[in-house]
Structure formats: C-alpha cells, structure tokens
Amino acid sequence: MPGKEVLIVINPGSTSTKFALWSRDGCVVERVVRHDAAQLARKVADQFDYRLGLIDRELESLIDSVEVVGVVGRGGPLRPLEGGTYTVNDAMLNDLRSSRYSNHASNLGAMLADHYARRFGVKAYIVDPVTTDELDDVARLSGVPWIERKSRAHVLNIKAVVRRACAELSVDIHDSRFVVAHLGGGISVAAVDRYRIADVNDALHGMGPYSPERAGALPIGPLVERCFSGEVTRQELLDELARNAGLKGYLGTSDVREVLKRIGEADRKADLALRGMIYQTAKEIGAAASALEGGFDAVILTGGLAQSDEIVNMLKKYISFLGKVLVFPGEGELQALAEGGFRVLDGQENALEYVNPHV
C-alpha cells in the first residue's frame, strides 16, 4: 500500500542545506545539514556532489514509508521573472550551473531537485525565485538613465505571508494589497498589489533601511569618494556594503540578540544603532504605503527579527497609525516551497516554463 504523498523540499544556504519531507498536512520531517568551510570555498556548482552526499546520508532512512510525488528546490538567481512555480528544465539548469546571473548557494536548489526528481521519476520545481521581478515601470526609475532599480528581495517569504494574511483576513488574494516587511540579515519592504510585488527596495545592493549586515540607501558623494580613494578594491567595497555594514559595521556583530543584550547593559552605541535600523525600516514601510496610495489591507512584519517582541514593538510605535499590523515570525521557506509545489500538483495553478532569451 502506498505511503503518504510527500514532496522533497530542498533549500541550500551559504553554510548549510535544509531539506524536508512535506505532505499536504504539513512537515513530516525536517533536517539541517551543516557544511565544512573548506568545501564551501569552492564555486557553488562544484559543491553539488558534496551536498548531495550529505543529503543522501540523511534521506535514505526517511523515504521508506512515503511516496515521493515531486521535488521542490529553492530558486536561485535567474533572469528577471514573474512570480510563480516553475518546472526545472535544461535552460534553467544551464544558467544555474554556469552561475550566469550570480554564484549563489541557492543555484543548487534546482540542481539538487532535478537529481532527486530523476531518481524518483517525478517532476522538479522551484517557487518564486530570488530574481522574481514584477515592479511597476515607474518603480524602476532611479533618477539617472544608466541605473535601473531592480527587484532583489525575500520574494518567497513575502508571497507566502501574503497568502497567509489573505486567509486570516478572508480577503481575495487578487483583490488584496499589503505592505510587507521581511526583517532578517537583509531587510525587504514591499508594496504588494494584488499579489504582485509592485515596488520593493533592493535588499542586497543598497536602497531602503540598513540591516544587521547590509548598508541601505547611502549619500552618493562619500561613496564615490571611497570608490576612488585607493583604500579598497571593488570586491572589498562590495563585501563591506553587503556583508559588513549595518549593525555589524557599527557594532562588530550582526546578531540582534547580542545587540539587545548590550542595550540591556546600557550600551548607548548599541541602542542608537538599533534605533537607527528600526527608524529607517519604519520610514521605508511608510514609503511603501504611499506607493499603494494609502489603500491596503494591513502591514505584515515577517522574517527572523519578527520573532523578537522588542523589535516588533519598536516598529509598531512608528507604524501603528497606518492601520492593522500582522506579525508572522520566521522565514518559513521550506513551507512556502512545499505549498507552491502542491498548488501545481493539485491543479490550483499551472507550472510556468523557464525560457532563456539568449538562446
């Protein structure tokens, strides 16, 4: 007799790979495999066999009593796409294996999903990849003709919490409007109009608030001066802005629990740095509310930092006047991937096809 139908769900990260077996009723089992730093020093595509072996070791004892009906991987950097669930195909795999758009750990999501899909004779999918781009044309304008604003955000979780909010509020998703703030190592603040991310700050390369480890919007003059100072290389400056700025730049740590501990010990520098991040995030939420012309169902706070009552309460002091504030703590990426896969398998939406425009 066949076992419970499950999806294998795979989320490769920078230092670990999370995977789970997920049924329509929820998570059956979840595992986190930590990785050796020496292995992670290699190009992402070259880590495939290493990560595959570690997953195999854990997976072997878990699949005897279940029926695998599909595999879903985290969607890595691809060409700009509309949101949705995509079938993994050769065009997608070629772009990911060659790191055409970025050498990012999530490139392995579709590659690992494709491997297991072939093993079990099922289809492989990705859901709402990180380069999902649904911006309004006006939101792309930067103020200079040779720079176009891009959508780089926590799309998977943003879309997932909008679905949760619509269910909670009994709102039709295609008539819904939300401001969503994903609060993590990077911070994304999105204006979501009828399930489309109409505007969002670039959560990786500046714009919006600074975060625990990333710079936000910066004054142009001092940045240009640093570029030509001879003190840093191009890569050093990119790392400084994307990995060693924000709270980490001011305080030497990106761990908000440590920052809150210091504040509790009357560290005024830590207090100011955290208040600055909250202040800038609140301003970005207000800007997103303006992009929706003030008409929206709720503000949603989500991501790892939304697990902190202190952070949530600090933000609410600024934004409560905007109306209803919903809090969905954590990232829930494995759940979002599984739900996207089951929506396709159960005929609730159609799988999309990835096409490489350069071929």
- 160-171: per-residue pLDDT in tens? 999 999 999 999
Report the predicted TM-score, pTM, of the whole model to 2 decimal places: 0.91
> Do 4-132+334-353 and 155-330 have matching folds?
yes
pLDDT in tens, 236-260: 999 899 889 999 999 999 999 999 9
What percent of the chain clears pLDDT 70, i.e. is strictly above it? 99
Query: What would the CATH number be for the domain defined by 4-132+334-353?
Result: 3.30.420.40
What percent of the chain clears pLDDT 90, i.e. is strictly above it? 82
Mean pLDDT of the chain: 94
pLDDT band at 38 (very low <50, low <70, confident <90, very high): confident
Q: Is the pLDDT of residue 139 over 60?
A: yes
**Domain spans in the chain, listed from the N-terminal domain onward:** 4-132+334-353, 155-330
Q: Is the pLDDT of residue 45 over 90?
A: no
pLDDT in tens, 335-354: 999 999 999 999 999 999 99
Mean pLDDT on 38-63: 87
Q: Is the pLDDT of residue 357 over 80?
A: no
Instruction: Tell me which fold the domain 155-330 belongs to.
Output: Nucleotidyltransferase; domain 5 (3.30.420)
Per-residue pLDDT at 358? 65
Mean pLDDT on 40-49: 85
pLDDT in tens, 274-311: 999 999 999 999 999 999 999 999 999 999 999 999 99
Q: Is the pLDDT of residue 10 over 60?
A: yes
Per-residue pLDDT at 344? 98
Per-residue pLDDT at 2? 67
The three-state (H, E, C) secondary structure of the chain, written as one string: CCCEEEEEEEEECCCEEEEEEEECCEEEEEEEEECCHHHHCCCHHHHHHHHHHHHHHHHCCCCCCEEEEEEEEECCCCCCECCCEEECCHHHHHHHHCCCCCCCCCHHHHHHHHHHHHHHCCCEEEECCCCECCCCHHHHECCCCCCECCCCCCHHHHHHHHHHHHHHHCCCHHHCEEEEEEECCCEEEEEEECCEEEEECCCCCCCCCCCCCCCCCCCHHHHHHHHCCCCCCHHHHHHHHHHCCHHHHHHCCCCHHHHHHHHHCCCHHHHHHHHHHHHHHHHHHHHHHHHCCCCCCEEEEEEHHHHCHHHHHHHHHHHHHHCCEEEEEECCHHHHHHHHHHHHHCCCCCCEECCCCCC
pLDDT band at 102 (very low <50, low <70, confident <90, very high): confident
pLDDT band at 359 (very low <50, low <70, confident <90, very high): low
pLDDT in tens, 175-224: 999 999 999 989 999 999 999 999 999 987 779 999 999 999 999 999 99
pLDDT band at 131 (very low <50, low <70, confident <90, very high): confident
